Amino acid sequence: MILKQRLLASAMTILMACAVVPPATAAPWMRGFVVGSYEYAFRYGGRAGFTREGEIEPGADCRHGSSTHFADDVRTKHAVASQTWRTQQEIDWISAPPGLEKVRAPNLTRFYIWDRALSHRGYKKEIETYVNPFAAEDPGQPEVTSRIGDGFNLDGKVKVDDFVSADGEQGIDNALYRAWGCDAPWRGNGNATLHLRANDKMQGGLYTMVVRISGNKDPMNDDNATVEIGYSPDKITQNARSEVATDFSYRIVKSEQYTKLKAKIRNGVVETQQVAALHTPRIAWFYDQTGDTNFTQGRIRLNIAADGQSATGLVGGYRNWRDLYAENTFAQDGGQQGIREHEDHVALYYALRRNADGMYNAKTRKYDGISSVYRIKLATAYVIDPDKPVELSKLLVEEDRKAAFEATKFAVIKGTDTRIPQLVPPGTTQAAIGIMERLVVDLPSKDFFLKTLYRQRFPGEDEEGIPPWLQDSFGRTKPQLPPQPTKPQQEAREIGIPLAKP
């Protein structure tokens, strides 16, 4: 009995001691990341048993194949033959320009002859195709046929044409994938041409995007966390292997291209609330493309690694599909982009318009937006607030070109809304303006092309047809081809690097 009482007393003492110790409180926490990979969330449904060495596996999600527009003279001839106002000689000579072997840069000369011809495929030869894609016939774009897709249920519905995620979530809205997922330069398992180009330019300093996550509980489990995503003026730091280096500091600009969202974290998976407007830097590989993505009804999902040193995720919402069209088409000019990448932006335009599924416009009774999802990969970083107010960085030497890009995008939207063909704004090289004139100097058939292939004229052009904004580059005297370039120089030119000054 005495032993029993002593044991009871001891137990009470222990309980009382425990009662006076305050429970542990959760401490505020914060984690930062810099985005090292940023691309459209397109899947690449591989087919088992594909063993043809040296070929790119077409993928089960594109049963009708990938786009290969303008890959050779046969496809180009087919494209220009659809305009009833062209003569047979014009069709034949465009596809295979006579005397091409006599010029110093035959591939480049043919390239820009095709550029000018393909830039005029409307119902009238005076209509520039890429600014007015609605005025040309739909060439047809292969679209994704798979039901599996990455993204979010943005509209809260499960529709028959929605995707299903790889882990079984239904109602996934990612119509951009359906529209453009079979476009050759955007296809690949992390190695698509334009994805690689955009990531290379981003890592090289064109722009930087950072993410900061904070809360008051556990970084891996917190039901009241905050996610900030936005632009940083600081260039991405790379290590000796040209990889995104970890644990460097980046400032975050809380103005344009910035959004703050509430989020919940469960077992390292971060799910943000859906917000009316989600602003992040947009995918770009030239300065003129840079700007705000402006997702409508946007969301973010991140998967943080167990060690907290990296993360992967998705950013999505509805984007104005005319903006997407312009961002891809006018990075340089529509013909140059299309021929080099073998994509037809007229086909891409119609694919976007067909698949638009959000941002309903009561006035036009059509959708202005298309559900779009981007995939990101992040490395740990210190994301800090700047000591002094910071604005978006500007590249003054490229501001005129950026202004021309914005004017061109506005012309596309106006023409699309009104169905009235728009002129090409000044400041661009649409339809190989100035460039073709320079390249055909030694071409025996140059007079035919200069006379037959229509081009818009601009005030201030010199006697050779060089517009004012190119005269400083080409010289105000009669353009002459530079000396025969070395092979590396020639290759650089053929992927779109501007021609050197004569």
Residue-wise pLDDT for 405-463, tens only, equals 999 999 999 999 999 999 999 999 999 998 999 899 999 999 999 999 999 999 999 88
Question: What per-residue confidence (pLDDT) applies to 52?
Answer: 58
Question: What per-residue confidence (pLDDT) applies to 58?
Answer: 60
Q: Which residues pair with 238 in a beta bridge?
A: 244
Q: Residue 292 corresponds to which amino acid?
A: D
For residues 174-199, average pLDDT:
89
Burial (CB < 10 A; 0-12, 13-18, 19+), residue 48, is exposed
493: pLDDT strictly greater than 60? no
Alpha carbons 313 and 280: distance in angstroms, whole number: 14
Question: What per-residue confidence (pLDDT) applies to 162?
Answer: 95
140: pLDDT strictly greater than 60? yes
Question: What per-residue confidence (pLDDT) applies to 56?
Answer: 56
490: pLDDT strictly greater than 50? no
Give the gyration radius of the chain's Cα atoms: 28
481: pLDDT strictly greater than 70? no
CB burial of 395-411 (b: ≥16 within 10 Å; e: otherwise) equals eeeeeebbebbbbbbeb
473: pLDDT strictly greater than 70? no
Question: What per-residue confidence (pLDDT) applies to 491?
Answer: 38
**Tokens representing 466?**
């060089």
What rounded mean pLDDT belongs to the chain?
A: 87
Q: What angle do CA 326, 334, 498 make, to 5 degrees?
A: 110
Query: Residues 283-341: pLDDT tens digits?
Result: 999 999 999 999 999 999 999 999 999 999 999 999 999 999 999 999 889 999 999 99
Alpha carbons 40 and 195: distance in angstroms, whole number: 8
Q: Which residues pair with 479 in a beta bridge?
A: none
Question: What per-residue confidence (pLDDT) applies to 494?
Answer: 43
pLDDT band at 184 (very low <50, low <70, confident <90, very high): confident
Query: Residues 105-134: pLDDT tens digits?
Result: 999 999 999 999 999 999 999 999 999 999
Collapsed DSSP state (helix, strand, coil) of residue 190: coil
CB burial of 229-253 (b: ≥16 within 10 Å; e: otherwise) equals bbbbebebbeeeeeebbeebebbbb
SS3 helix, strand, coil % of the chain, rounded to 5? 30, 20, 45
Other Cβ atoms within 10 Å of 85 Cβ, number: 11
Who's near 484: CB < 8 A, 6+ residues apart? 104
Percent of the chain at pLDDT above 70? 86
Alpha carbons 63 and 331: distance in angstroms, whole number: 29
Query: Residues 239-286: pLDDT tens digits?
Result: 988 899 999 999 999 999 999 999 999 999 999 999 999 999 999 999
CA-to-CA dists, residue 402 to 290, 320, 458, angstroms? 9, 19, 19
Question: What per-residue confidence (pLDDT) applies to 345?
Answer: 96
Helix locations, 333-465, DSSP H: 334-341, 345-355, 399-418, 435-439, 446-452
Q: Give the predicted TM-score (pTM) of the model.
A: 0.86
Alpha carbons 56 and 339: distance in angstroms, whole number: 19
Please, what's the largest Cα pairwise distance for the chain? 119
Question: What per-residue confidence (pLDDT) applies to 463?
Answer: 85
Collapsed DSSP state (helix, strand, coil) of residue 224: strand
Query: Residues 26-58: pLDDT tens digits?
Result: 789 999 999 999 999 998 776 666 665 555 566
Query: Residues 191-220: pLDDT tens digits?
Result: 788 999 999 999 999 999 999 999 999 999
Ramachandran region, residue 89 (left: φ > 0; alpha: ψ -120 to 50; beta: rest)? alpha
For residues 153-167, average pLDDT:
94
Alpha carbons 264 and 269: distance in angstroms, whole number: 8
The H or E element that residue 265 is part of is strand 258-266
Q: Which residues pair with 261 in a beta bridge?
A: 227
Q: What is the DSSP string of 131-176?
A: T-GGGB----------SB--SB-SSS---TT-BB-TT----BB-HH
Question: What per-residue confidence (pLDDT) applies to 237?
Answer: 96
Contact 199, 38 (CB under 8 A): yes
pLDDT band at 143 (very low <50, low <70, confident <90, very high): very high
Contact 118, 76 (CB under 8 A): yes
